[in-house]
Amino acid sequence: MATEGVSSSKDQLPPCFAAASISDVTIPVEADLFDLRPPGRLDAPATTAIPAVSLDGVSRSFKRHAALSDVSLAVSPGQIHALLGPNGAGKTTLLRIMAGLMTPSAGSVRILGRDHRDGGPSVRLDIGLVPSGSRSFYPRISAFENLLFFGRMCGLRRKDAARRALEVLDDVGLADARDVRVQSLSTGMQRRLATARALLPDPRVLLVDEATHDLDPRAASQIRLLIRRIANERGAAVIWATQRVEEIRAFADDVTLLDRGRVCFSGPVAGFLRHAVADRFVVRLLATEFPRPLAEVAVCLSSIADVRPAGSDGDEFLLEIRDGFVLGSALDALAAAGFTVVSCSEERPGAEAAFLRLTAGT
């Protein structure tokens, strides 16, 4: 009988699968898989009064290295909470702790009000994990057969696993690819399949690790739209780990910024963006006052700001204020030179600027 092997380790698999003690297994493709049904999950609906995920003072050390230090956060149902940070910040370690694949050295983790250490399989079934790696599927069998296998690992009977596999394939837009071998799927399609696998137990908490890391902009956008729909329609709490700073704008609700295992910021994305120093302004001058407005403005502000055209009409300019000066200095200089400023607006600060400012001292 033909066999297929999966090369991922236990800590790469979603928690309800890892709970079955499956590690580096070789699975007969045609075999009827054994039943691993854990005790029934708690079906009381989540309420906004109880956070879906609550971390209090979580730390994790590996020998003398502190991977995480005193991390606290709370995520409500239906909320997307971005976990932002550079490589080595501790994002994946924190996700593994939330998934129950790793224990914290200190602190507590509560899922839907239940202590992670005491909840057992019922807690694990409330968690879906989308790992960052792409080697956690059987590559030479189909997308449907993979989900059928992992559905069985979640404790579903074969008939229920098959039904659920078809449902989640449709949810992520892969219904037409159900019979395609995983190795023939594009990277973006494999990421969607990983999301489908995480949805098999219908989790209330979804942990997503670097889902858009090496995707092109269109594929990355599709993944984000899918995750947003899951949060909105299913009310799932989503923790989205990423190092792509700009993608959190208009996507995440809250953000926690980690650097070297420590929290540099935690709160609404709008509050995070306010940490970006706004030093770029668009000014519009009264037209026809000067024959060569760009050259005249550049000379006027030569020591205060760099000047570039900001529109096609010749009366709008982008000012990049230099260190040691403020917007008022530029406006005063323009007025002294005889220019009439019609309007002035702040260019929207970038998330990358906030990221660099908040991590500058760590």
Amino acid at 63: K
Radius of gyration of the chain, Cα coordinates, nearest whole angstrom: 25
Q: Is the pTM of this model over 0.75?
A: no
Q: What is the pLDDT along the chain (362 residues), one digit of tens a residue?
A: 444 444 444 445 666 655 443 333 333 333 333 233 233 333 334 444 689 999 999 999 998 899 999 999 999 999 999 999 988 899 999 999 999 889 999 999 999 998 887 767 778 889 999 998 767 899 999 999 999 999 999 889 999 999 999 999 999 999 999 999 999 999 889 999 999 999 999 999 999 999 888 788 888 888 899 999 999 999 999 999 998 887 887 889 999 999 999 999 999 988 887 776 556 788 888 865 556 678 888 888 989 888 888 766 677 888 888 877 778 888 888 888 888 888 888 776 566 666 666 676 65
Helix (H) or strand (E) holding 343: strand 341-346
The tokens for 346 are 């702040």
**Token reading at 33:** 């898989």
Angle at 204 between CA 200 and CA 206, to 5 degrees: 75
> What is the distance between the alpha carbons of residues 282 and 320, in angstroms, rounded to a whole number?
9
Q: Which of 229, 227, 222, 230 is nearest to 241 (CA)?
A: 227
Contact 124, 19 (CB under 8 A): yes
Residue spans of beta strands (DSSP E) within 89-162: 106-111, 114-115, 127-130
Domains located in the chain, CATH noted? 3-39+55-268 (3.40.50.300), 280-346 (3.30.70.100)
Task: Tell me the two tokens of residue 256.
Answer: 């926690």
Cβ-contact 12, 23 below 8 angstroms? no
* Residue given tokens 């229920």 in the structure block: 160
Asked if residue 182 lies in contact with residue 143, where contact means CB atoms within 8 angstroms, the answer is yes
Q: Residues 53, 236: contact at Cβ < 8 Å?
A: no
Q: At what angle do helices 293-300 and 327-336 cross, to 10 degrees?
A: 120
